[in-house]
């Protein structure tokens, strides 16, 4: 395979990991949304590149979904939600940024070690893409754990899904069923989230999960 | 029966719930829709029974074998009885105004969606399709858990949604890795995700990839099984949603996730180079068993109490399947069946009790056998069954699990016994407070449907004394299959 093909694919995947790190330390709502849109943009480019390299035109559909839905529609909608809820204030992070970044680096190292070892026999294009994809997934998880605010947890979850799509498109010839289902599930998830946001807003006038914690059934 | 290339019973299992979901979303009137809901689940149950008569050939997307028939018949049966319970439960909720007609339509549509998703997940012959089905089941139950829209219900639904999504995301990553492992052997495209093809060629897959994949799948689907430490969503979801949903969560959904884990376990077992999947399941199972047993002592909410008991039993079942071998697998399978029946019966009882008393707080539920004798004694019977006392069915399966473990790993057996005793003590303690002594609170009668409740308990009782020969032979056959 052409050296350039590999390098470019890896560069894009690497950028996604980098943006995942950027997501970790954004402490303002609007910049968080913008960085997420950037990640979705890179994802779209990466998927389109895979479509070209693998000669798999159906992947262009996935790329288009990533571009339109994740890079444009969702950030715009969330932008309006944030304004409507009046929470463009700072987001608190648990444990501090330094510690979170260190944990993130540990996770990336872990995924490199695990995936590169496990996929020694696989073709190089899929191999390193998969390692990057796992890094993005784990960083998304980390973000969901460290954030307290409902909107930033949603962003964490969607960046995790970005990692999954990166992995799915890197696996050559994976049936289209799965990619569409992933995109579809994101859409459904968004509807669900929308419903929830609406209700949470209605009931608590806040989307801070802390407010939810206080209403636990058992603490009486 | 095959018509136009489509197998009828198989199609019915999916089409009936799908069509009813749409119909129930549109029809007004709760008495009518509740009856239609029962009718639809009954027809689904009948079509699942017809799988015994004639089994269709495995197709590209759907298949039926000895293992998933157990899950499908059990699932559609509990789905049917729960819908009968749901009819009387809903009538009370409508009268007290806790649910509005619009929400009720939504509730019934979601109930059928859930049935559809679970049947699809169990029948799927494609690991991608199975994942989609489990995801769909998760989303529908999230919506149902939040249906009361109280702060507690919203928190439960949110927590369930977040943890469920993370679980399901990890499972998807595992699924992709399995495809990656299969691709060099089977070739690109659809075939590399078909169960029957995967199992047949599993011995040639790259063991390293399969190992990593199984860890993701175990953690991902394990979240849905409710194994500790990934169980946090389960008690809240059980406690805050409508009680029929608690019954289907414990009785069905946990089993579907467990089924997925078992399938992948079989895949790993077919590959000589891969790690043994057993120890991981044994560890998670034991942690869940002992942890949930301890947590039972501090529960003050009656539905939460039985939710933790579900974690305990799912832990025990995962442990049994993790140990493997014909006896432990047989016991695990039977325990899963009986647990589904018993736990849904308990939730039927608890649902009516909570409606009669107007509270789920254990501190305010006292002397049930005096104020509501039938419900009170049903609860006593249910708890005695779930705690594993003889002569009920769960005693026998727990005995089998412990004795088969003693023969191979005495130390583990001691831990299992310890966990079971801890849970046993907590359940009896709570039961004696709630069921006996002077009655408190509201003692007015409640309109309850006793038929599904006692049907389940009777089955569990009979299973403890006598198991029909063909059933034993069939379960033994499946146990062999599981390895």
Are A220 and A161 in contact, with CB atoms under 8 Å apart? no
Given its phi and psi angles, is residue B282 left (phi above 0), alpha (psi -120 to 50 degrees) or beta? alpha
Nearest residue to B125 via CA among B33, B52, B225, B57? B57
Nearest to A160 among B131, B158, B169 (CB): B169
* Tokens matching residue B462: 């009979």
- Could you give the CA distance from residue B10 to residue B38 in angstroms, rounded to a whole number? 20
Are B304 and A217 in contact, with CB atoms under 8 Å apart? yes
Count of alpha carbons within 13 angstroms of residue A54, beta-carbon side:
24
ipTM for the complex shown: 0.85
Nearest to B165 among A117, A181, A189 (CB): A189
- Could you give the CA distance from residue A204 to residue A208 in angstroms, rounded to a whole number? 9
Q: Is the pLDDT of residue A150 over 80?
A: no
- Could you give the CA distance from residue A198 to residue A196 in angstroms, rounded to a whole number? 5
Are B23 and B36 in contact, with CB atoms under 8 Å apart? yes
3 state SS of A115: helix
In this prediction, what percent of chain B has a pLDDT beyond 70?
Answer: 99
Contact B143 A174 (CB under 8 A): no
Contact A216 B142 (CB under 8 A): no
Mutate: best of B61, B128, B140, partner A, most A CBs <10 A? B128
Are B412 and B282 in contact, with CB atoms under 8 Å apart? yes
A129 vs B422, more confident: B422
Cα distances (Å, whole numbers) of residue B389 to A213, B385, B434, B437, B463: 37, 6, 19, 22, 13
Cα distances (Å, whole numbers) of residue A173 to A125, B16, B186, B385, B464: 13, 34, 12, 50, 51
Contact B209 A122 (CB under 8 A): yes
Whether A56 has its CB under 8 Å from any CB of chain B: the answer is: no
Pairing between strand B2-3 and B6-7?
antiparallel
SS (H, E, C) B431-461: HHHHHCCCCCCCCCCCCCCHHHHHHHHHHHH
Using the CB atoms, write b or e for B58-74: b if 16+ within 10 Å: ebeebbbeebbbbbbbb
Q: Which residues of A touch B125 (CB under 8 A)?
A: none
Q: Positive or negative, the Cα torsion across A136, A137, A142, A147?
A: positive
pLDDT of residue A94: 61
B100 vs B416, more confident: B416
Check residue B188 and report its DSSP letter: S
- Could you give the CA distance from residue A128 to residue B222 in angstroms, rounded to a whole number? 27
- Could you give the CA distance from residue B385 to residue B341 in angstroms, rounded to a whole number? 10
Using the CB atoms, write b or e for B422-444: b if 16+ within 10 Å: bbbebbeebbeebbeeebebeee
Contact B165 A157 (CB under 8 A): yes
* Tokens matching residue B225: 């099984």
Q: Is the pLDDT of residue A43 over 70?
A: yes
- Could you give the CA distance from residue A100 to residue A138 in angstroms, rounded to a whole number? 12
B19 vs B98, more confident: B19
Q: Where are the domains of chain B?
A: 280-483
Strands (E), B230-377: none
Shortest CA gap B132–chain A (Å): 7
Interval B165-209: pLDDT, tens: 889 889 989 998 998 889 888 888 888 889 999 999 989 898 888
Nearest residue to B366 via CA among B351, B374, B376? B376
Interval B260-313: pLDDT, tens: 999 999 999 898 888 888 899 999 999 999 999 999 988 889 999 999 999 999
- Could you give the CA distance from residue B164 to residue B139 in angstroms, rounded to a whole number? 9
φ and ψ at B274, to 5 degrees? Answer: -80, 160
Nearest chain B alpha carbon to A203: B151
Are B392 and B461 in contact, with CB atoms under 8 Å apart? yes
- Could you give the CA distance from residue B302 to residue B285 in angstroms, rounded to a whole number? 24
Contacts of A124 (CB under 8 A, 6+ apart): A1, A6
Q: Which residues of B touch A172 (CB under 8 A)?
A: 183, 188
- Could you give the CA distance from residue B146 to residue B158 in angstroms, rounded to a whole number? 8
Nearest residue to B127 via CA among B172, B170, B163? B172
Given its phi and psi angles, is residue B5 left (phi above 0), alpha (psi -120 to 50 degrees) or beta? left
pLDDT of residue A22: 92
pLDDT of residue B86: 93
Q: Which residues of B touch A216 (CB under 8 A)?
A: 152, 155, 236
**Residue with tokens 């549509």, as numbered in its chain:** B109
Mutate: best of A59, A116, A118, partner B, most B CBs <10 A? A118
Shortest CA gap B127–chain A (Å): 10
Whether A172 has its CB under 8 Å from any CB of chain B: the answer is: yes
Q: Which residues of A touch B299 (CB under 8 A)?
A: 218
Mean pLDDT rounded to a whole number for chain B: 89
Nearest chain B alpha carbon to A171: B180
Nearest chain A alpha carbon to B240: A217
Report the range of poorest mean pLDDT among A96-100, A151-155, B276-280: A151-155
Check residue B391 and report its DSSP letter: T
pTM for the whole structure: 0.91
Mean pLDDT, residues A136-162: 84
Q: Where are the domains of chain A?
A: 3-213
Contact A134 B132 (CB under 8 A): no
- Could you give the CA distance from residue A207 to residue B436 in angstroms, rounded to a whole number? 44
Interval B113-147: pLDDT, tens: 999 999 999 999 989 889 889 988 988 898 899 88
B377 vs A151, more confident: B377
Contact B301 A134 (CB under 8 A): no
């Amino acid at each position: 395979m052409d050296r350039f093909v590999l390098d470019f694919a890896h560069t894009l995947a690497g950028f996604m990991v980098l943006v995942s790190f950027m997501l970790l330390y954004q402490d303002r709502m609007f910049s968080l949304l913008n960085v997420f849109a950037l990640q979705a943009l890179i994802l779209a480019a990466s998927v389109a590149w895979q479509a070209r390299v693998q000669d798999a035109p159906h992947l262009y559909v996935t790329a288009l979904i990533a571009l339109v839905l994740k890079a444009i529609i969702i950030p715009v909608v969330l932008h309006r939600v944030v304004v409507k809820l009046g929470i463009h204030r700072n987001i608190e992070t648990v444990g501090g940024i330094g510690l979170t970044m260190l944990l993130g680096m540990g996770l990336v190292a872990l995924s490199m070690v695990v995936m590169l070892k496990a996929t020694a026999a696989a073709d190089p294009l899929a191999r390193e893409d998969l390692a990057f994809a796992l890094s993005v997934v784990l960083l998304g998880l980390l973000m969901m754990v460290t954030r307290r605010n409902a909107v930033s947890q949603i962003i964490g979850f969607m960046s995790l899904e970005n990692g999954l799509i990166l992995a799915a498109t890197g696996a050559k010839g994976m049936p289209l069923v799965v990619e569409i289902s992933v995109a579809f599930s994101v859409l459904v998830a968004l509807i669900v989230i929308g419903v929830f946001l609406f209700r949470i807003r209605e009931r608590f006038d806040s989307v801070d999960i802390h407010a939810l914690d206080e209403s636990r059934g058992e603490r009486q | 029966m095959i018509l136009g290339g489509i197998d009828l019973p198989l199609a019915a299992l999916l089409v009936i719930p799908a069509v009813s979901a749409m119909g129930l979303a549109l029809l007004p009137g709760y008495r009518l829709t509740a009856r239609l809901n029962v009718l639809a689940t009954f027809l689904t149950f009948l079509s699942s029974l017809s799988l015994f008569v004639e089994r269709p050939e495995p197709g590209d997307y759907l298949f039926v074998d000895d293992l998933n028939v157990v899950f499908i018949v059990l699932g559609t049966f509990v789905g049917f009885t729960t819908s009968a319970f749901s009819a009387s439960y809903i009538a009370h909720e409508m009268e007290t105004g806790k649910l509005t007609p619009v929400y009720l339509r939504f509730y019934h549509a979601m109930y059928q969606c859930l049935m559809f998703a679970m049947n699809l997940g169990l029948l799927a012959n494609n690991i991608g399709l199975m994942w989609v089905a489990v995801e769909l089941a998760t989303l529908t139950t999230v919506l149902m858990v939040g249906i009361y829209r109280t702060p507690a219900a919203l928190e439960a639904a949110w927590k369930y949604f977040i943890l469920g999504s993370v679980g399901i995301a990890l499972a998807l990553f595992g699924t992709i890795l399995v495809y990656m492992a299969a691709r060099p052997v089977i070739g690109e495209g659809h075939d590399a995700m078909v169960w029957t093809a995967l199992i047949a060629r599993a011995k040639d897959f790259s063991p390293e990839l399969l190992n990593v994949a199984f860890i993701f799948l175990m953690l991902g689907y394990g979240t849905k099984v409710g194994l500790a430490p990934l169980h946090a969503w389960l008690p809240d979801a059980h406690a805050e949603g409508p009680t029929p949903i608690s019954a289907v969560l414990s009785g069905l959904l946990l089993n579907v996730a467990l089924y997925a884990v078992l399938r992948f376990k079989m895949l790993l077992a077919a590959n000589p180079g891969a790690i043994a999947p057993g120890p991981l399941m044994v560890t998670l199972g034991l942690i869940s068993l002992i942890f949930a047993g301890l947590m039972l002592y501090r529960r003050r909410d009656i539905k939460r109490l039985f939710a933790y008991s579900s974690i305990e039993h799912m832990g025990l079942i995962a442990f049994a399947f993790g140990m493997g071998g014909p006896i432990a697998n047989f016991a695990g399978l039977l325990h899963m069946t009986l647990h589904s029946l018993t736990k849904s019966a308990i939730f039927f009882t608890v649902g009516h009790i909570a409606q009669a008393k107007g509270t789920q707080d254990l501190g305010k539920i006292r002397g049930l056998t005096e104020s509501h004798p039938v419900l009170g004694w049903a609860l006593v019977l249910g708890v005695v069954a779930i705690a594993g006392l003889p002569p009920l069915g769960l005693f026998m399966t727990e005995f089998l699990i412990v004795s088969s473990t003693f023969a191979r790993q005495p130390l583990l057996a001691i831990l299992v016994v310890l966990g079971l005793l801890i849970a046993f003590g907590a359940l009896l303690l709570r039961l004696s407070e709630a069921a006996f002594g002077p009655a408190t609170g509201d003692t007015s009668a409640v309109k309850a449907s006793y038929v599904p409740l006692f049907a389940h308990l009777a089955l569990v009782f009979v299973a403890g004394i006598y198991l029909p020969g063909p059933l034993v032979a069939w379960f033994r056959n499946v146990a062999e299959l599981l390895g």
